[in-house]
Chains A and B, each alone.
Chain A
């Protein structure tokens, strides 16, 4: 009996060692191959953030980040359905670990592009899909006009984001001491703390603040202040050294920018199908150049994306405008309109 037990233990330990090998070897492969084998894309989003990724009563996802997840699934599999795309909500704390562990293939999770994250997380960033900046949401009754008025105020912030570091830096720069932080696990908890009075000011990306204010019980009592504490370029993130996947993610984003440049939308795309413009023909995959094939996907991937998801203008209109964040004159306008969205040449 005793001998048997020891043998079992040894067997277990060896099995564990072997298991760790097999787990690791699964990670060694190319992520795109894994996606193709599996038959669907795992896309990490925030979840519960109006305008970016939120689920309705029937479980349908919508939002800017979700639309880019759809674009990726369409680029790879030609359609975005429950079969080809799994949307996975992640908290700020676990998102990078989930990506590293291969739980998600790509993060479209309003993640700020920073040097540290780019270099130390074993991952790369794709093109920025939304230019944001950190702002402050305050009660009108408190009479705050900017951070300079807020000595001694308590700040609600989501733990595991860049916002808590930015507010610490900005507050120290003005008052020379540490701010009081209330670090909640997520934006909804931050809002609950803010509404209950556990903190005086809620700080986060401005788009997020607008979304939270819109979903709060009494939006008229709060205002997003004009202060911008930081640059927050939000974009997709994927594992390092996965160029095949990176290309598809990047160009599925650029497709929505380019469509806007060319004036193509999901509604009028039919009219462009017999266009004489060679740029339009290239974009829609009607020429012989085979851009899609070069990436291992369909040549008409851009056309498919635009037909199903729409151009960037449509995506923005559908998701972000209802939050009360205008696009005109902002950084998120197309370069032709004075914004920062500038897709590389489609040729």
Chain B
């Protein structure tokens, strides 16, 4: 009689269990994987169906959808933004395009690999489903031996009890979408007209092509979004802190600002600002110059000029020596960074003050002076790193300097005030969510009001502020399309101009949606990144 020891007993029990295991078609993991697959296929089919439908119906009413329309000439002179006639040879170079495409594919491939690695559990289930299906087919066809083999499957690594299931993170989806958009961009580049074109065609394309007009529009949209984003954050944080100020005047002013701009439509605000600016400002011949206000500025070298067309600022122009100056600044940045680290380490070790600010200012001052001298400026008597272009009246308009149009200002001011008011409320809520006991504790430790805010309140409030802040940024990006009210030539205006010129609404509005989607996704990915870095790391 054979003695069965404990281990052997366990083995038999385990093999009995494996025989009793549920069939694959009732395994919830397999079913989930299958359901996802079926859903993806259905969604894809539905998408193809809708697009096909749209295209065939439009073409049956003689409205073809042809993305080649982006090569067509665009014959309206856009009043602002980068020139449409600039040729970008590097962009149209076939090798550059190929390199770009290759890069995108490599990137895409790595993203897929990475996401599979992230989801390796899901991958295992998928592979297992395939293997099961294969083995079951075999089983149906052959002997009991194979049936045994089929049911002895590898154990699936289950997630440990108590851990939540992994969900597809927003970032992951965003990243995949962004890759798609990158491909769209590459595809778009193919529609840029060739830079070396026959003389006649060049003359015909004097105003540039549709694709160039879109690039100008995107540049204008990005410009107003970036400027307003920075300004509304500063304004919002200040007003948010102001809402909680002990000072009655500051508190009331902040409250009035927030309530007015949060509770009126943006379109009304934009129109109000724009009409106000155009009504108040003088026409170009009667421009306001810096020398009118500051009499010590000589009339030939104005710092600014203002009229109904906008603001003209004296602007630095690069010279041949500019690179020396810029190089000095880069070196200064590196040195300042290095010194800052050393000083902070010193502070940690000895407890002596770091004086980071003093050191940084010192480094920058020296760098600017050295750069200026090296690039041939004072005291060598040369032009220096920059020459200044001053605004001057030429004929009926101001020439020289940097021009920011009234439309830009109206949109910039409107977006900043509107979004700033919302951000102020978010900041207020974030600060108020920090327990008051912490502030009292910090006060009792001898922290000053500013220190309490900077070291105790804001770092904790930030965690709650950033996610809703990201929403506001995305809103700002989308609201910039209201620039159409104040004659701002953003990408939306360009799309409608192009639509009017060619009558092909679909390609242009597809491009428009892709562009706004990219802007929103980039903004939300950035906020998510900042958000993750400010969150408390808990285990």
The stretch of A50-58, A192-200, A228-236, A251-259 that contacts the partner chain: A192-200
Known: A168-B207, A240-B61. A120 touches B503 (CB 8 A): yes
Within 8 A of A (CB), among B303-362: 308-309
CB of B268 within 8 Å of the partner chain: no
> Which of B35, B485, B502 is the one whose CB lies under 8 Å from A116?
B502
> Which of B43, B57, B309, B485 is the one whose CB lies under 8 Å from A27?
B57
CA distance A172 to B75 in the complex (A): 11
CB of A181 within 8 Å of the partner chain: yes
The answer to whether A160 touches B500, judged by C-beta atoms less than 8 angstroms apart, is: yes
The A/B interface has a contact count, at CB < 8 Å, of 141
A173-185 contact mask (Cβ, 8 Å, vs B): 1 or 0 = 0000011111111
B26 to chain A, nearest CB (A): 13
CB of B161 within 8 Å of the partner chain: no
A239-271 contact mask (Cβ, 8 Å, vs B): 1 or 0 = 111000000000000000000000000000000
CA distance A24 to B497 in the complex (A): 26
CB of A281 within 8 Å of the partner chain: no
Q: Report chain B residues within 8 Å CB of A192.
A: 275
Which size bracket describes the interface of A in this complex?
35 or more
Secondary structure of the B side of the interface?
A: helix
The answer to whether B487 touches A160, judged by C-beta atoms less than 8 angstroms apart, is: no
Within 8 A of B (CB), among A74-98: 92-93, 96-97
CA distance A27 to B53 in the complex (A): 13
The answer to whether B46 touches A14, judged by C-beta atoms less than 8 angstroms apart, is: yes
The answer to whether A10 touches B76, judged by C-beta atoms less than 8 angstroms apart, is: no
Most chain A CB atoms below 10 A, which of B42, B49, B77, B78: B77
Within 8 A of A (CB), among B60-92: 60-63, 75-79
The answer to whether A159 touches B54, judged by C-beta atoms less than 8 angstroms apart, is: no
Q: Give 5 closest A-B pairs by Cβ, nearest first.
A: A152-B396, A178-B77, A196-B278, A121-B503, A152-B395
The answer to whether A92 touches B500, judged by C-beta atoms less than 8 angstroms apart, is: yes
CB of A345 within 8 Å of the partner chain: no
Known: A20-B50, A151-B396, A159-B493. A122 touches B62 (CB 8 A): yes
CA distance A3 to B28 in the complex (A): 11
The answer to whether B76 touches A181, judged by C-beta atoms less than 8 angstroms apart, is: yes
Chain A's closest residue to B31 (CB) is A3
CA distance A198 to B309 in the complex (A): 6
> Which of A3, A20, A28, A151 is the one whose CB lies under 8 Å from B54?
A20
Interface residues, chain B, with chain A CB atoms under 8 Å away? 32, 35, 39, 42-43, 46, 49-50, 53-54, 57-58, 60-63, 75-79, 206-207, 275, 278-279, 281-284, 308-309, 394-397, 406-407, 484-485, 487, 489, 493, 496-497, 499-505
Within 8 A of B (CB), among A174-225: 178-185, 189, 192-193, 196-198, 200
CB of A36 within 8 Å of the partner chain: no
Q: Report chain B residues within 8 Å CB of A9.
A: 39
Known: A120-B503, A152-B397, A168-B75. A183 touches B487 (CB 8 A): yes
CB of A145 within 8 Å of the partner chain: no
Q: Report chain B residues within 8 Å CB of A121.
A: 63, 503
The answer to whether A196 touches B503, judged by C-beta atoms less than 8 angstroms apart, is: no
> Which of A28, A151, A184 is the one whose CB lies under 8 Å from B487?
A184
Q: Report chain B residues within 8 Å CB of A182.
A: 79, 407, 487
Q: Report chain B residues within 8 Å CB of A183.
A: 76, 79, 487, 489, 493, 497
CA distance A185 to B481 in the complex (A): 13
The answer to whether A178 touches B207, judged by C-beta atoms less than 8 angstroms apart, is: yes
Q: Report chain B residues within 8 Å CB of A97.
A: 499, 505
CA distance A93 to B32 in the complex (A): 48
Q: Report chain A residues within 8 Å CB of B485.
A: 185
Known: A116-B501, A165-B501. A17 touches B49 (CB 8 A): yes
Known: A151-B396, A184-B487. A193 touches B49 (CB 8 A): no
CA distance A182 to B80 in the complex (A): 10
CA distance A232 to B258 in the complex (A): 49
CB of A326 within 8 Å of the partner chain: no
Chain B's closest residue to A21 (CB) is B53
A1-24 contact mask (Cβ, 8 Å, vs B): 1 or 0 = 011001001100110110011001
A253 to chain B, nearest CB (A): 23
Q: Report chain B residues within 8 Å CB of A241.
A: 61-62
A181 to chain B, nearest CB (A): 5
Give 10 A-B contacts (CB < 8 Å), ordered by A residue.
Answer: A10-B39, A21-B53, A117-B503, A122-B503, A151-B396, A154-B309, A160-B500, A165-B76, A172-B77, A196-B278
The answer to whether A16 touches B46, judged by C-beta atoms less than 8 angstroms apart, is: yes
Q: Report chain B residues within 8 Å CB of A160.
A: 496-497, 499-500
Chain A's closest residue to B84 (CB) is A178
CA distance A312 to B489 in the complex (A): 40
Within 8 A of B (CB), among A122-146: 122
Known: A6-B39, A179-B77, A196-B278. A17 touches B503 (CB 8 A): no
Known: A96-B503, A184-B487, A200-B283. A27 touches B61 (CB 8 A): yes
The answer to whether B395 touches A151, judged by C-beta atoms less than 8 angstroms apart, is: yes
> Which of B61, B75, B275, B489 is the one whose CB lies under 8 Å from A122?
B61
CA distance A188 to B396 in the complex (A): 25
The answer to whether A24 touches B53, judged by C-beta atoms less than 8 angstroms apart, is: yes
A47 to chain B, nearest CB (A): 17
Chain B's closest residue to A190 (CB) is B487
Chain B's closest residue to A91 (CB) is B496
CB of A153 within 8 Å of the partner chain: yes
The answer to whether B501 touches A100, judged by C-beta atoms less than 8 angstroms apart, is: no
A115 to chain B, nearest CB (A): 11
A216 to chain B, nearest CB (A): 15
A92 to chain B, nearest CB (A): 7
Most chain A CB atoms below 10 A, which of B39, B60, B275, B487: B487
Q: Report chain B residues within 8 Å CB of A200.
A: 283, 396
The answer to whether A161 touches B487, judged by C-beta atoms less than 8 angstroms apart, is: no
B400 to chain A, nearest CB (A): 13
CA distance A344 to B107 in the complex (A): 66
CB of A34 within 8 Å of the partner chain: no
The answer to whether B62 touches A165, judged by C-beta atoms less than 8 angstroms apart, is: no
The answer to whether B76 touches A153, judged by C-beta atoms less than 8 angstroms apart, is: no
CA distance A193 to B271 in the complex (A): 11
A159-170 contact mask (Cβ, 8 Å, vs B): 1 or 0 = 111001100110
CA distance A198 to B276 in the complex (A): 11
Other A-B pairs, 9, CB within 8 Å; known A100-B61, A120-B503, A182-B79: A10-B39, A28-B60, A120-B63, A122-B62, A168-B75, A183-B487, A192-B275, A196-B278, A198-B309
The answer to whether A13 touches B46, judged by C-beta atoms less than 8 angstroms apart, is: yes
Q: Report chain A residues within 8 Å CB of B62.
A: 122, 240-241
CA distance A21 to B49 in the complex (A): 9
A172 to chain B, nearest CB (A): 7
Within 8 A of B (CB), among A291-326: none
B308 to chain A, nearest CB (A): 5
CA distance A182 to B277 in the complex (A): 14
Chain B's closest residue to A121 (CB) is B503
CA distance A154 to B206 in the complex (A): 20
CA distance A16 to B372 in the complex (A): 65
CA distance A111 to B155 in the complex (A): 73
B231 to chain A, nearest CB (A): 23
The answer to whether B504 touches A172, judged by C-beta atoms less than 8 angstroms apart, is: no
CA distance A198 to B501 in the complex (A): 25
Most chain B CB atoms below 10 A, which of A9, A20, A178, A198: A198
CA distance A121 to B61 in the complex (A): 9
Known: A20-B53, A27-B61. A172 touches B309 (CB 8 A): no
Q: Report chain B residues within 8 Å CB of A171.
A: 77
The answer to whether A168 touches B79, judged by C-beta atoms less than 8 angstroms apart, is: no
Known: A20-B54, A168-B76. A6 touches B35 (CB 8 A): yes
